[in-house]
Structure 1
Amino acid sequence: MDAHFTGIAEVLEVPSVAVVVDVMRAYTVAAWAFARGAEKIVLADSPAEALALKARHPDWVTLKDGPPAPGFDLVNSPGLLSSADLGGRTVVQKTTAGTVGALAVKDASLVLCAGFVVAEATARFLRARECAGVTFVVTGEDGRAEEDLACAQYIAGRATGAVTEPAEFLRRAAGSRAAAELGSGVREGAHPDDVAFCLELDRFPFAMVATWEDSLMVLRPCAVPSPADGAPV
């Protein structure tokens, strides 16, 4: 598999296969939303679009970066979301980088969204599809976010069978600027354990696939079977 790593602004051509990585915190939050029962997640282009969708669908749950805001039900924090009851609900998510990255590659034939919590499932999904080339969109800090790059490189390695030891990748993420800001309370709308939630490797057994449905970018979980005993991983 040929892996290419790029920032959002550097996506100039539509890739065939894209993995959009936002560890802290969009796609850790998305995974937790599915774990708490959400049926699907609509990735909104703007806060205004999120609020417009909420107005048309009052039962949908809106979620954004930063502190609580009128019209939004939740904030983009895995620690705060981990106890929410989202059974059967549709979540509308708008974040600074993660949702922007997914929308930048919406025309790709396959779009996966990922963080460390779904790393192995994402790698297995790529292996099962036998993807020849994959563009990893590093969403944070204009493509320089160390936590996102480390996660992208780890998934790429696992997808090709070249990486087996996650410790160094998790160490890089733990030492990132985003982790420092979350740990020090600089970012609003956070839980004290958000960094730990974001670095919980392979917490969930599903990959997350985004598709274009009725003019909306919709994210859904996709079960990925574990390899059979004795099979190569």
Structure 2
Amino acid sequence: MNARFLGIPELAEVPSVAVVIDVMRAFTVAAWAFAQGVEKIVLAESLDDALALKARHPDWVALKDGAPAPGFDTVNSPGLLRSIELGGRTVVQKTTAGTVGALAVKEASLVLCASFVVAEATAQLLRARDCDAVTFVVTGEDGQADEDLACAEYIARRAAGAPTDAAEFLRRAAESRAATELAEGVRQGVHPDDIALCIELDRFPFAMVATLEDSLMVLRPCAVPSPTDGASA
């Protein structure tokens, strides 16, 4: 598999297959939301767009980065999200990096959103779709966020079928600038468990696929068959 690792500003053309990485915290939050029964996540272009969607659909759950704000139901924290009843609901998500990266490649034929908690499922889906060329969008810090790059590199190796020890990749994420800022309270809207939740490998068995639906970029979970499915006993 030919893998490219690009920051959002480096996306000069629309890739055929894109894997958008945001470990801390957008796509860890998204995975937790789906695990709690969310039907879909609408990726909003801006805070105003998120609020407009929430106004049209009062039952939807709107979340954003940073501190709580009027009109939003919660913030972009996996630890905080766990306490909210989400079964069957729709989430509107607007974040600084992750949602921006996904919207930047919305015209790609396949868009996956990923973090460590869905790493293996994402790699399995890339293998199942026979993806020969994949652009990994490293969303944080204009492509320099080590937690996102580490996750992208790990998924790329697994997608290529290479046996890979995850320990070094997880260590890089745990020691990243983002993790330090979360731990030191530089970033607002943080739960004490957020870092640990963001570096939990393969917590969930699904990948996350984003598609355009009626002009909205919508993220949904995608079940991935186990490599042993169909094998004889």
Q: TM-score, structure 2 length as denominator?
A: 0.97
1:168 and 1:105 map into 2 onto residues whose CA distance is: 29
- Match of residue 110 from structure 1: 110
Give the aligned residue type for 1:29.
Answer: V
- Match of residue 28 from structure 1: 28
Give the aligned residue type for 2:57.
Answer: H
Query: CA offset at residue 7 of structure 1?
Result: 0.2
Counterpart check, 1:5 vs 2:14: no
- Match of residue 50 from structure 1: 50
Query: CA offset at residue 164 of structure 1?
Result: 2.0
- Match of residue 72 from structure 2: 72
Query: CA offset at residue 6 of structure 1?
Result: 0.0
Give the aligned residue type for 1:227.
Answer: P
Deviating more after overlay: 133-142 vs 222-231: 222-231
- Match of residue 224 from structure 1: 224
Counterpart check, 1:192 vs 2:175: no
- Match of residue 207 from structure 2: 207
Question: Following TM superposition, where does structure 1 have runs of at least 4 consecutive aligned residues deviating by more than 3 angstroms?
Answer: none
SS of residue matched to 1:80: helix
1:82 and 1:58 map into 2 onto residues whose CA distance is: 21
1:145 and 1:74 map into 2 onto residues whose CA distance is: 25
- Match of residue 125 from structure 2: 125
SS of residue matched to 2:52: helix
- Cα deviation digits, residues 68-94 of structure 1 (max 9, x gap): 000000100000012221011000000
- CA-based RMSD of the aligned residues comes to 1.1
SS of residue matched to 1:37: coil
- Cα deviation digits, residues 128-182 of structure 1 (max 9, x gap): 0010100000000000000000000000000001242100000011110000011
Give the aligned residue type for 2:39.
Answer: E
Query: CA offset at residue 229 of structure 1?
Result: 7.5
1:181 and 1:166 map into 2 onto residues whose CA distance is: 23
Query: CA offset at residue 230 of structure 1?
Result: 11
1:164 and 1:49 map into 2 onto residues whose CA distance is: 40
Q: TM-score, structure 1 length as denominator?
A: 0.97
